[in-house]
Structure 1
């Protein structure tokens, strides 16, 4: 990708975010329900309700509300949460790192597990084990992340209580974190007690999110490896006496990564959206869990801020994946 194409993608990203903001802004105001009614006491007078609506700008025309909101966004002012009475940007900044740690842990697990299964499937092709692996992988593809979450809660949370059921850190630990990135900070401080506890709380939500991703990666990478294994350069390397494992890992894998990486980026964006339900099931204090509370409380500023952050993450991830795929293209590497 040239510098011009990157600039064009960024310009389109701004327009896309503007469109997302407009759609969400309008939809939240045309659906039934009044956010003021959710937060005011039953004994409030009409004057109290009118004053509160004026405080949040809900008494203005819809177009004026949108342009005022857009003006504030340009100054990085996402507004004030109606239900929590705090700045939206501050709330998102506190919760987003937890979601990022969870999704990147699930991404690493999905890539490793899916890659191992794909390579094993190619090495075991035309054997009974290949059919078994394909059947199991198909089952993993068919089960969504929230079903895995519920199954894990029952299996290793209730029947065999191996891992913590909820939260992000054991309340009994008295560690004072300076950043919301608990895992990274614990590793940087070599506090292995906190590292182990944070990882223990990450295991079940990571598996719930990562298992479907691993199944997608395994199927896609296996097909790409199968196509690469019949290419002339692989046949030539086989004639030279190279082992089958070395053929797969050294010759075929680097050419099969491209299409798999692109699909992984798309699935990763879907996985970030999937954190909403998974975080709720495990009471994980991330941005997805907060999004559900915001919807229940009709917290318009908070919902708008969360949707914009999700949209920005999707766009940034897609651009990053395109850049990486372009750099890993064999024609670019050997050009």
Structure 2
């Protein structure tokens, strides 16, 4: 019952958040100077052409009227038509979403592996020079933004030592028998390991650039939680039974220390998806972030609105799932 009330409360909060985001984005991008219709018109277009396009995209109405017309379409899954591509926004956004999700998930997995390893190693070697070195490395990883890590990775592993691809999502010359846009997962299902290796080679550097700062955050928080947990009674009891330090960390301390990190990972994953905008542009990766930059440059208002609402939906959805997982895994909240 407690879990159900939590779920209903979070759903209501999510709907209010999405509505607020929709209102803010819709109003802000319309009061910014600039006319997107002017970018579509050929030289010598007359007033009649301008009026026709304004009526076609609803720009001849007041902002409240435009908003409610657009909101009615959104409820039915229609985000309008792109001004530059002249295609439905829904199809364009959903077509690029799998690429961004695969990149974000790969970056998250890499961050958890790197950060978790550093946290466990630092806890195992606490109060030594090894822990100090790990703390320095985490500080350096956090001090450098992800796009600068991307530039360094391009220089190191794309130019000086060309091991990985530094642009695109997959080599176009390969046979691409994909039904969905989830190339990475579909290539595994089809047992096309040649395609999978090529896709990973394209994704590795941008995913690593996103993962490095996040792995430092995960490593610092998890290491601190582990160090606090190592002084609790049940951990001391495990030591008296003769278990080694590594066994105590992995089997006794980790499962309780990981709860605060779980919440952090969920929150940071939403920021990770937003951070793909610059990284995708830097690596010419065909994802949602790259499309968002093009939409802003071209002042494609329907496409901008669709992308922002989708990002907001992902953010609120991930936070909702994390809250529920935390409630399920934490017995004090589950039985409270």
Normalising by structure 2, we get a TM-score of 0.97
Query: Counterparts of 1:310-325 in structure 2 under 5 Å?
Result: 310-325=311-326
Query: Counterparts of 1:59-208 in structure 2 under 5 Å?
Result: 59-208=60-209
Report how far residue 328 of structure 1 moved. 1.9
Whole-angstrom CA distance in 1 between matches of 2:263 and 2:66: 39
CA contact (8 A) 1:141 1:212 kept: yes
Query: Counterparts of 1:44-59 in structure 2 under 5 Å?
Result: 44-59=45-60
Report how far residue 42 of structure 1 moved. 2.2
Report how far residue 247 of structure 1 moved. 0.7
Whole-angstrom CA distance in 2 between matches of 1:89 and 1:165: 29
Whole-angstrom CA distance in 2 between matches of 1:26 and 1:217: 37
Whole-angstrom CA distance in 1 between matches of 2:234 and 2:331: 13
Spell out structure 1 runs of 4+ moving beyond 3 A: 330-335
CA contact (8 A) 2:3 2:327 kept: no
Alignment-derived partner of residue 305 in structure 1: 306
Normalising by structure 1, we get a TM-score of 0.98
Alignment-derived partner of residue 19 in structure 1: 20
Report how far residue 333 of structure 1 moved. 8.2
Whole-angstrom CA distance in 2 between matches of 1:331 and 1:9: 19
Alignment-derived partner of residue 258 in structure 2: 257
Residues 62-87 of structure 1: CA deviation (Å, up to 9, x unaligned): 11001101111111110000011000
CA contact (8 A) 1:114 1:214 kept: yes
Whole-angstrom CA distance in 2 between matches of 1:297 and 1:230: 57
Report how far residue 331 of structure 1 moved. 4.3
Whole-angstrom CA distance in 1 between matches of 2:302 and 2:260: 38
Q: Which runs of 5+ in 2 are unaligned?
A: none
Local SS of the residue matching 1:2 = helix
Whole-angstrom CA distance in 1 between matches of 2:128 and 2:74: 58
Whole-angstrom CA distance in 1 between matches of 2:259 and 2:15: 27
Report how far residue 176 of structure 1 moved. 2.4
Over the residues paired in the alignment, what is the CA RMSD in angstroms? 1.3
Whole-angstrom CA distance in 2 between matches of 1:248 and 1:334: 27
CA contact (8 A) 1:213 1:267 kept: yes
Residues 102-144 of structure 1: CA deviation (Å, up to 9, x unaligned): 0000111111111010000000111111111111111011111
Whole-angstrom CA distance in 2 between matches of 1:217 and 1:11: 30
The reply on whether 1:39 has 2:35 as its aligned counterpart is no
Change in Cα spacing, 1:141 to 1:178, as seen in structure 2 (3 Å) is same
Whole-angstrom CA distance in 1 between matches of 2:289 and 2:249: 39
CA contact (8 A) 2:3 2:334 kept: no
Report how far residue 332 of structure 1 moved. 6.5
Report how far residue 330 of structure 1 moved. 4.8
Report how far residue 243 of structure 1 moved. 0.6
Aligned residues: 335
CA contact (8 A) 2:327 2:334 kept: no
Query: Counterparts of 1:224-303 in structure 2 under 5 Å?
Result: 224-303=225-304
Whole-angstrom CA distance in 2 between matches of 1:334 and 1:227: 24
Alignment-derived partner of residue 4 in structure 1: 5
Q: Which runs of 5+ in 1 are unaligned?
A: none
Change in Cα spacing, 1:4 to 1:332, as seen in structure 2 (3 Å) is closer
Whole-angstrom CA distance in 2 between matches of 1:330 and 1:213: 28
Report how far residue 323 of structure 1 moved. 1.4
Report how far residue 53 of structure 1 moved. 0.8
CA contact (8 A) 1:255 1:330 kept: no
